C-alpha cells in the first residue's frame, strides 16, 4: 500500500475529517423520507503521534461536541487518505426535512474531498465505493468501500452517523471507522463535529492517529433552487488536525513542506436541476467536482479532479464516489 495523504470525504470529513467523511447527508423527499450520504483518510512510514498531539486532537473534538449540544440539544497512509477524502462526500447533506421556514441544501452531492456541516436526518443505512487515479506519487488506481448508518433529528436534538471504511477492497481488510455528530442551528445553517480513521489497525495502516474536525455550513437564503425548499448556493468552512494538517512523507521528501492549512472549505452551486458544481480546499489541495443525482433516485454520484495545485501531491488526479441510502424509519 502506498503512503497515504495526511488525514477529511473530508470530506468528508471526513470526512471528513471525515469523509467525508466525509460524515454528512442529504435527504431525498418525494412522498418518502429517503436519504443520500457523504464521507473521509492516513501516511506510510510516519512516526507515531505524540501524547500531546493526541490530547490536542481530543480537546478539539470535545470543544466541537460541546458547542453542538449547548446549541440545543480523511497524516496517514497516502493512498488511504486520498480515498478517505473521497468518502467525505458520501457522508453528506441529505436534504433535511424542512420544518422551519428556510432554504436547505439541495439533494445532490456537494462535497467530494472535505466534510460538510450538514448531517443526516432520520434513520437510514448507506453504502458505497470511491476511488481515484492515479494515486499520489504512484501510477496505480485503487478503491475504498464503506457502509454505515445514521439516526436522530438534527433540528430537535442531533443526528449521529457511524460508518466503516474498507481500504483494501480486494482483500476486505484495513478497516477503520468514522463518527459524525451534526445539528442544525440558525436559519439555513448546520454544524458538525467528526472523528475519522478511528480504530485503524497499525499493522495494516500506518496512520499515526485519528483525525478530528469541526465544520459549519450555510445555505444562501436568497437563491432558491429548482428543487422546492432548497438553495442553489451553499458553502462550508471548517478546521481539523490529521488529514487536514499533516502532509505525507512523499510531500515532505518532494520539498512541499510538512503541514497543510488545517482550514478546509468549499462552495457548491446548482448548475441545473440535479447537477451541482463544487469547488473545495481540503486543507492539502484544491479540487473541483460535479455532484450528480441521476434520474429521480437517491443515488449520489460525484466525479472530479483533485490536487490541482502543487501545494501537495505530484500531479492532479481523477476521483469518483458513488453511494446509496436506504431509509429504515420515516
150 by DSSP, 3-state: which?
A: strand
Q: How confident is the model at residue 5 (pLDDT cuts 50, 70, 90)?
A: very low
**Residue 231 in domain:** yes
**What is the CA angle 164-168-172, rounded to 5?**
70
The b/e string for 6-24 (b: 16+ C-beta within 10 A; e otherwise) is bbbbbbbbbbbbbbbbbbb
Residue 296, burial from CB neighbour count under 10 angstroms (0-12, 13-18, 19+): exposed
Gap between the Cα atoms of 31 and 213, Å rounded: 34
Q: Does residue 1 fall inside a structural domain?
A: no
Q: What pLDDT digit, counting tens, does each position of 131-151 carry?
A: 889 988 988 887 888 899 999
| Residue 211 buriedness (CB in 10 A; 0-12 / 13-18 / 19+) | buried
3-state secondary structure at position 56? helix
- CATH number of the domain where residue 175 is located: 2.40.160.40
CA dist 201 and 213 (Å) reads 21
Q: Are 37 and 126 in contact (CB under 8 A)?
A: yes
With bands split at pLDDT 50, 70 and 90, how would you rate the model's confidence at 298?
confident
Provide the number of structural domains found in the chain: 1
What per-residue confidence (pLDDT) applies to 258? 94
From residue 325, alpha-carbon distances to 123, 144, 148, 261 in Å are: 10, 17, 9, 33
Q: Give pLDDT tens digits for 51-64.
A: 555 556 555 555 55
Residue 12 covered by a domain: no
Asked whether the bond before 15 is cis by omega within 30 degrees of 0, the reply is yes
Q: Report the C-alpha gap between 161 and 90 in whole angstroms.
A: 11
Please report whether residue 10 resides in a domain: no
**Spatial contact of 287 and 113, defined as CB atoms under 8 Å apart:** yes
Residues 6+ apart with CB under 8 A from 94: 25, 26, 27, 28, 35, 36, 37, 107, 120, 121, 124, 325
Paired residues of 231 in beta bridges: 105, 224
Mean pLDDT of 255-277: 96
Whole-Å CA distances, 22 to 13, 82, 317, 330: 3, 12, 19, 24
Q: Of 125-129, 235-239, 324-328, which range is least confident?
A: 324-328
Residue 117: HSE in the Cβ half-sphere, 13 Å Cα cutoff: 29
Do 215 and 111 meet the contact criterion of CB atoms below 8 Å apart? no
Each residue's pLDDT tens digit, 198-257: 887 766 654 556 899 999 999 999 999 988 999 999 999 999 999 899 998 999 999 999
- Is residue 200 in some structural domain? yes
| Omega of the bond leading into 134 within 30 degrees of 0 (cis) | yes
The sign of the CA dihedral 121, 151, 16, 142 is negative
pLDDT score for 41: 35
Whole-angstrom Cα Rg for the chain: 17
The reply to whether 4 falls in a domain is no
Answer whether residue 18 is part of any domain.
no
Domain coverage including residue 183 = 25-329
Q: How far apart are the first and last CA of the chain?
A: 41
The answer to whether residue 181 is domain-embedded is: yes
Is 255:273 a contact under the CB 8 Å cutoff? no
**pTM across the whole model:** 0.73
Amino acid at each position: 500500500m502506498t503512503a497515504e495523504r495526511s488525514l477529511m470525504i473530508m470530506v468528508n470529513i471526513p470526512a471528513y475529517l471525515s469523509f467525508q467523511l466525509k460524515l454528512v447527508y442529504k435527504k431525498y423527499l418525494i412522498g418518502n423520507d429517503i436519504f443520500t450520504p457523504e464521507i473521509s483518510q492516513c501516511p506510510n512510514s510516519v512516526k507515531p503521534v505524540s501524547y500531546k498531539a493526541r490530547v490536542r486532537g481530543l480537546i478539539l473534538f470535545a470543544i466541537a461536541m460541546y458547542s453542538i449540544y449547548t446549541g440545543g440539544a480523511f497524516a496517514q497512509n497516502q493512498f488511504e487518505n486520498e480515498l478517505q477524502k473521497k468518502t467525505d462526500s458520501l457522508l453528506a447533506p441529505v436534504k433535511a426535512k424542512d420544518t422551519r421556514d428556510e432554504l436547505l441544501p439541495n439533494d445532490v452531492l456537494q462535497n467530494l474531498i472535505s466534510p460538510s456541516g450538514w448531517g443526516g436526518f432520520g434513520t437510514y443505512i448507506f453504502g458505497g465505493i470511491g476511488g481515484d487515479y492515479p494515486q499520489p506519487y504512484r501510477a496505480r488506481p485503487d478503491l475504498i468501500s464503506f457502509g454505515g448508518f445514521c439516526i436522530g433529528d438534527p433540528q430537535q436534538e442531533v443526528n449521529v452517523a457511524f460508518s466503516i471504511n474498507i481500504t483494501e477492497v480486494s482483500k476486505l481488510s484495513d478497516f477503520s471507522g468514522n463518527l459524525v455528530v451534526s445539528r442544525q442551528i440558525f436559519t439555513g445553517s448546520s454544524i458538525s463535529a467528526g472523528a475519522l480513521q478511528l480504530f485503524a489497525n497499525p499493522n495494516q495502516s500506518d496512520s499515526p492517529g485519528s483525525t478530528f474536525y469541526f465544520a459549519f455550513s450555510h445555505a444562501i437564503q436568497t437563491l432558491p433552487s429548482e428543487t422546492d425548499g432548497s438553495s442553489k448556493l451553499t458553502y462550508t468552512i471548517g478546521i481539523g488536525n490529521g488529514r487536514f494538517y499533516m502532509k505525507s512523507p512523499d510531500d515532505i521528501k518532494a520539498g512541499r513542506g510538512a503541514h497543510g492549512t488545517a482550514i478546509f472549505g468549499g462552495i457548491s452551486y446548482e448548475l441545473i436541476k440535479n447537477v451541482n458544481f463544487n469547488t473545495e480546499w481540503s486543507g492539502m489541495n484544491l479540487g473541483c467536482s460535479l455532484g450528480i443525482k441521476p434520474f429521480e433516485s437517491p443515488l449520489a454520484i460525484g466525479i472530479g479532479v483533485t490536487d490541482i495545485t502543487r501545494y501537495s501531491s505530484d500531479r492532479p488526479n481523477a476521483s469518483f464516489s458513488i453511494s446509496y441510502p436506504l431509509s429504515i424509519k420515516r
